[in-house]
Amino acid sequence: MSATGTYRAVQVAASGALELTERPLADPGRGQVRLRVEACGICHTDAGAVHPHPATEPGIVPGHEVVGIIDALGEGVTRWSVGERVGVGFLGGHCGQCASCRRGDFVNCQDQDRTGLTIDGGYAEYMVARETGLVAIPAEMTSVAAAPLLCAGITTFNALLKGAPEPGDLVAIQGIGGLGHLALQYADRMGLRVAAIARGTAKEGLSTELGADHYIDSAATDPGDELAKLGGASVIVTTVASGASSSSLIAGLADRGRLVVVGASSEPVTVSTGDLIGRGIAVLGSLTGTPIENERGLAFAHAQGVKALIEERPLADAAAAFDRMLSGEARFRMVLVP
């Protein structure tokens, strides 16, 4: 299929602001497909591409929670068909050739595009993606509902799995926002006892509704002490971008507990050698997941009724929607619809 016409996309301008542009439609290259975008979530990681500190060249199209319909196949693509509905997350598709890929570690592929950072993402009517990055979307799930699960969802779902909790274990989720409100639901549906940790009491009611058994106000109490009083958490997933506040949770881990970090921060997480050795605890990070892990996460979410709370906006309102996400006012994920 040859490209004709143009499409609308929201790109990062030289000033760092988001601007709506019109671009010529391009054909997918070898091993790529072209998607007609149906929905794209706005993720905090998009701030790496956008004002005030753009890490990318002007002209990049942000967005890595993309759901669309395949409308053109590049040369050599046999796994996917035109008309199929697929998603693309932050990892834009592995190469299959590098040392990490040959070990089966596709997340750490050394030749992997970062959607919306190193290649154009989904704040657009069309997007071109590598076939190895594609995620099949369950037929019963709407594109808008699926979009935030492709980054925020898989990030927290996989973080919980990496903590390897057992049924009935106490797990804690620090930070009840775009990531945390999903983590609470996954943890509850996995049959775990769930403690939600956030500053203040404003999110207590919602946390309970989403599945939390305990609510810890980190402004009023020491969350590490509170978790210890509950017997200690076998897993703590911290979505807060603060090394210091993550460090304070170490005291709340059960023996052999794991602190799984998904909130990126420039500050270190500090942990004593006594805790590491004497209590056998571990601190680890988790970066989204592979397409097949994403499909497992979507299937789990669909079967168990895990749903992102979403504010939907038209593509033309991307700049305002992005600002709302940055302000922390969004409840909880913004999704753009072309």
Does 332 sit behind a cis peptide bond, omega within 30 degrees of 0 on the bond before it? yes
Per the DSSP assignment, residues forming a β-bridge with 238 are: 174, 261
User: Considering the rule CB under 5 A, would residue 151 count as an interface residue with Zn ion?
Assistant: yes
Tokens standing for 116?
A: 């919306």
Q: Per-residue contact track with Zn ion, 261 to 300, x per CB under 5 A?
A: ----------------------------------------
Note whether 95 and 89 are within 8 A (CB): no
User: Considering the rule CB under 5 A, would residue 326 count as an interface residue with Zn ion?
Assistant: no
CB of 227 to Zn ion, least distance (A): 27
Neighbours of 262 (CB within 10 A): 24
User: Considering the rule CB under 5 A, would residue 154 count as an interface residue with Zn ion?
Assistant: no
User: Considering the rule CB under 5 A, would residue 149 count as an interface residue with Zn ion?
Assistant: no
Q: Which is nearer to Zn ion, 34 or 94 (CB)?
A: 94
Q: Distance between CA atoms of 286 and 263, rounded to whole angstroms?
A: 9
CA nearest neighbour of 37 among 99, 108, 85: 85
Q: Which is nearer to Zn ion, 97 or 304 (CB)?
A: 97
User: Considering the rule CB under 5 A, would residue 159 count as an interface residue with Zn ion?
Assistant: no
Q: Which is nearer to Zn ion, 95 or 271 (CB)?
A: 95
Q: Which is nearer to Zn ion, 248 or 288 (CB)?
A: 288
Q: Which residues have CB under 8 Å from 337's CB, separation 6+?
A: 38, 39, 144, 312, 313, 314, 315
Scanning 96-104, 181-189, 248-256, 330-338 for contacts with Zn ion by CB under 5 A, the matching segment is 96-104
Note whether 247 and 224 are within 8 A (CB): no
Q: Distance between CA atoms of 19 and 22, rounded to whole angstroms?
A: 10
Q: Which is nearer to Zn ion, 156 or 247 (CB)?
A: 156
Type of residue found at 44: H
The C-alpha R_g of the chain, in whole angstroms, comes to 20
CA nearest neighbour of 255 among 281, 274, 224: 281
Q: Distance between CA atoms of 26 and 32, rounded to whole angstroms?
A: 12
Task: Pick the binder of Zn ion from 39, 60, 77, 109 (CB under 5 A).
Answer: 109
User: Considering the rule CB under 5 A, would residue 172 count as an interface residue with Zn ion?
Assistant: no
CA nearest neighbour of 150 among 185, 115, 192, 188: 115
Dihedral angle over CA of 289, 294, 299, 301, nearest 10 = 60
Task: Pick the binder of Zn ion from 11, 32, 45, 246 (CB under 5 A).
Answer: 45
User: Considering the rule CB under 5 A, would residue 210 count as an interface residue with Zn ion?
Assistant: no
Q: Which is nearer to Zn ion, 135 or 192 (CB)?
A: 135
Q: Which is nearer to Zn ion, 95 or 337 (CB)?
A: 95
Scanning 68-76, 88-96, 184-192, 243-251 for contacts with Zn ion by CB under 5 A, the matching segment is 88-96
CB of 181 to Zn ion, least distance (A): 15
User: Considering the rule CB under 5 A, would residue 42 count as an interface residue with Zn ion?
Assistant: no
For the chain, give the number of residues: 338
User: Considering the rule CB under 5 A, would residue 98 count as an interface residue with Zn ion?
Assistant: yes
Q: Which is nearer to Zn ion, 40 or 176 (CB)?
A: 40
User: Considering the rule CB under 5 A, would residue 158 count as an interface residue with Zn ion?
Assistant: no
User: Considering the rule CB under 5 A, would residue 135 count as an interface residue with Zn ion?
Assistant: no
User: Considering the rule CB under 5 A, would residue 95 count as an interface residue with Zn ion?
Assistant: yes
CB of 296 to Zn ion, least distance (A): 18
User: Considering the rule CB under 5 A, would residue 254 count as an interface residue with Zn ion?
Assistant: no
Q: Distance between CA atoms of 34 and 83, rounded to whole angstroms?
A: 11
> Which positions lie near Zn ion, rule CB under 5 A?
43, 45, 94-95, 98, 101, 109, 111, 151
